[in-house]
């Protein structure tokens, strides 16, 4: 047999057949079988398309497109209402600045005089409440700031309302109070048997003590708030000289605004609330929501409104609405600033936003009838509270953003039959966002576009919380104290590094994964890809960045990531 030739021995007849002939025959059979399969698949696919295609066109024409077009019309109407509200609030804020409707111009204000002989007259008795719950990293901040207030030591009481469940933390807080008491500060350490009513329950219980009867006003600071020493001297005169004022609210400033991207986004949102919404509402309507901290109440206003109520997770807003319906006026003083801390982990921020979105919706459900039937305020005030304060800002503003930018707009990019006016889809939104940033937080003007994308992500969480509150679902009264880090990261970095166990690191990574956000990211990315190849418009310019932001959120990469050891 020559080289290169192979043969096999056949049992029947002892004949030798070249192996390459057999190989060629098998190859031809394989190709033939594959051709049959491909032809069958292609033919079947064509048949399926031929059957499903017309059905889909009918369904799309008679159902999908009309429903999507109807949803688009609703979104455009809501967008118009929000635009009108934005113009309204900007107009009020502009009036306040142009016509100098500053609190000091609209209300009587005189500086406090250090006259020892008339101290009882010039310096009223003030209660300073500090509610605390297991906040070990920051409790010293607020206690120290409150005890250093520039006010006669015998004319104010610092009341620490400790609801902590950790005995070690309770012991530390009590020792901190004892330290200040030894320095001559009138400080009271108060605890409760149960944590009924959460923060509202603690504040309500704190007002029941006998020594509070001597106090006319109460200043409230959360555990991470740091009032300046002259806080009382600048705020109290509004209450002393204007008996119709029930609340003086100071502006918040943030000690960790530059910590990470997450805190910068929060600063932009809250600055808009202070500079536009609260200053405008205060200057024209004399009504806005109490922020829960950094403010001073007239105790008679609290009592006249029915006291603290724990029926929702926004006890501060609940009290403000009831006091407003009793005719009390509120003053926002942007020149008085109180330092505080922003939540710097994404988990803590989401919990806070759930409470801030669910609570107002739940309160609106419970109070709308009471507000409408109220006879102590004007129809205009009731309309402002129901429509502007609750319906537009708390309901429509929360629901519209996600519904339009993360659902309707991506679906429209798949349906060329439905057209969105470009000015209403993207242009107007980014112009408004830029103007808001210039007015409220000028230093963050370069973050206007990322701010819109980030707010669209948070609108998903807010919308879920909104429906929980409106329908009073299971988590409607869930109260989770916002985590504060204080110097936790700095202290952590000074500790000796240890090698964490692999399972623990893996579990921490899994805890950060948010499946719903990742699903939305995939959906937006798919719509963007479709738009590149088939879409008549260029919505993918927005869809791809939004998908990236949702993916970042889905992997829990926004905010400070705490070390695992």
Residue numbers annotated as active site: 163, 316
Greatest alpha-carbon pair distance for the chain in Å reads 134
Q: In the structure encoding, which two tokens stand for residue 492, read together? A: 């952590």
Residues 6+ apart with CB under 8 A from 90: 276, 280, 435, 439
> What is the residue whose two structure tokens read 């635009």?
83
| Spatial CB neighbours of 406, under 8 Å, sequence gap ≥ 6 | 456, 459, 460, 520, 524, 546
Q: Are 150 and 233 in contact (CB under 8 A)?
A: yes
Among candidate residues 352, 368, 281, the one with its CA nearest the CA of residue 89: 281
Give the DSSP H or E segment for 352.
helix 346-373
**Measured CA distances, 203 to 59, 159, 188, 518 (Å):** 58, 10, 14, 40
| C-alpha 211 chain-centroid distance | 37
The answer to whether 280 touches 225, Cβ cutoff 8 Å, is no
Mapping DSSP onto H, E and C, the string for 273-318 reads HHHHHHHHHHHHHCCCCCCCCCEEEEHHHHHHCCCCCCCCCCHHHH
First to last CA, the chain: 74
Q: What values do phi and psi take at 560, rounded to 5?
A: -75, 130
Q: Would you report the helix, strand and coil content of the chain in percent, each value rounded to 5?
A: 60, 10, 30
Dump the DSSP string for 243-264.
TTEEEEEEEEEETTTTSSHHHH
Q: Please report, for residues 48, 460, 522, 524, 561, the alpha-carbon distance to residue 517 in angstroms, rounded to integers and kept in the order given.
A: 33, 9, 9, 11, 18
Q: 476 with 468: CB under 8 angstroms?
A: yes
Q: Could you tell me which of 337, 398, 340, 330 has the C-alpha nearest to residue 364? A: 398
Closest CA to 236 of 396, 116, 417, 108: 108
d(CA 275, CA 484): 25
Nearest-angstrom CA–CA distance, 476 and 468: 6
Token pair of 531, please?
């738009």
Buried b (16+ CB within 10 A) or exposed e, 448-466: bebbbbbbbbbbbbbbbbb
- Whole-angstrom Cα distance, residue 303 to residue 435? 41
- CA–CA separation, 118 and 103 (whole Å): 26
Using the Cα atoms of residue 153, residue 156, residue 157 and residue 158 in order, give the sign of their dihedral: negative
């Amino acid at each position: 047999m020559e080289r290169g030739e192979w043969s096999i021995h056949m049992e029947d007849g002892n004949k030798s057949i070249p192996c390459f002939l057999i190989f060629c025959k098998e190859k031809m059979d394989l190709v033939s079988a594959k051709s049959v399969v491909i032809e069958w698949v292609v033919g079947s696919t064509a048949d399926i398309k031929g059957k499903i295609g017309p059905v889909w066109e009918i369904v799309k024409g008679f159902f999908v497109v009309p429903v999507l077009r109807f949803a688009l019309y609703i979104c455009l109407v809501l967008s118009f209402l929000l635009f009108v509200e934005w113009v309204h609030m900007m107009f009020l804020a502009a009036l306040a600045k142009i016509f100098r409707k500053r609190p000091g111009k609209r209300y009587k204000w005189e500086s406090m005089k250090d006259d020892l002989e008339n101290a009882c007259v010039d310096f009223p008795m003030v209660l300073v409440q500090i509610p605390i719950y297991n906040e070990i990293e920051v409790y010293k901040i607020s206690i120290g700031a409150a005890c250093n207030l520039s006010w006669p030591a015998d004319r104010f009481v610092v009341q620490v309302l400790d609801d902590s469940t950790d005995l070690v933390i309770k012991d530390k807080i009590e020792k901190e109070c004892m330290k200040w008491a030894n320095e001559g500060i009138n400080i009271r350490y108060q605890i409760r048997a149960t944590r009924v009513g959460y923060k509202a329950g603690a504040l309500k219980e704190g007002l029941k003590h006998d020594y509070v009867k001597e106090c006319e006003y109460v200043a409230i600071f959360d555990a991470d708030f740091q009032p300046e020493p002259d806080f009382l001297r600048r705020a109290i005169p509004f209450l002393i000289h204007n008996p119709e004022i029930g609340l003086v609210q100071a502006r918040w400033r943030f000690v960790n605004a530059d910590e990470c991207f997450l805190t910068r986004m929060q600063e932009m949102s809250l600055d808009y609330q202070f500079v536009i919404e609260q200053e405008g509402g205060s200057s024209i309507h004399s009504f806005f929501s109490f922020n829960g901290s950094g403010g001073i109440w007239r105790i008679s206003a609290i009592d006249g409104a029915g006291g603290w109520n724990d029926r929702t997770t926004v006890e501060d807003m609940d009290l403000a609405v009831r006091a407003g319906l009793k005719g009390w006026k509120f003053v926002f003083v942007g020149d008085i600033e109180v330092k505080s801390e922003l939540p710097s982990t994404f988990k803590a921020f989401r919990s806070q936003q759930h409470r801030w979105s669910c609570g107002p919706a739940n309160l609106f459900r419970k109070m709308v009838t009471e507000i409408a039937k109220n006879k102590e305020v004007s129809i205009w005030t009731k309309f402002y509270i129901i429509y502007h304060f609750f319906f537009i800002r708390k309901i429509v503003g929360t629901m519209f953003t996600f519904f339009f930018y993360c659902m309707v707009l991506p679906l429209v990019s798949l349906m060329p039959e439905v057209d969105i006016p470009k000015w209403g889809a993207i242009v107007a939104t980014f112009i408004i966002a830029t103007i808001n940033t210039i007015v409220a937080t000028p230093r963050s003007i370069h973050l206007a576009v990322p701010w819109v994308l980030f707010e669209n992500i948070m609108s998903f969480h807010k919308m879920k919380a909104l429906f929980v509150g409106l329908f009073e679902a299971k988590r409607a009264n869930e109260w989770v104290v916002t985590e504060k880090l204080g110097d936790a990261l700095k202290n952590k970095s000074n500790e000796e590094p240890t090698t964490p166990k692999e399972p623990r690191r893996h579990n921490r990574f899994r805890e950060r994964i948010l499946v719903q956000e990742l699903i939305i990211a995939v959906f937006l990315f798919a719509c963007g890809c479709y738009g590149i190849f088939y879409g008549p418009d260029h919505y993918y310019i927005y869809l791809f960045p939004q998908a990236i932001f949702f993916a970042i959120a889905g992997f829990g990469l926004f905010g400070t990531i705490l070390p695992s050891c």
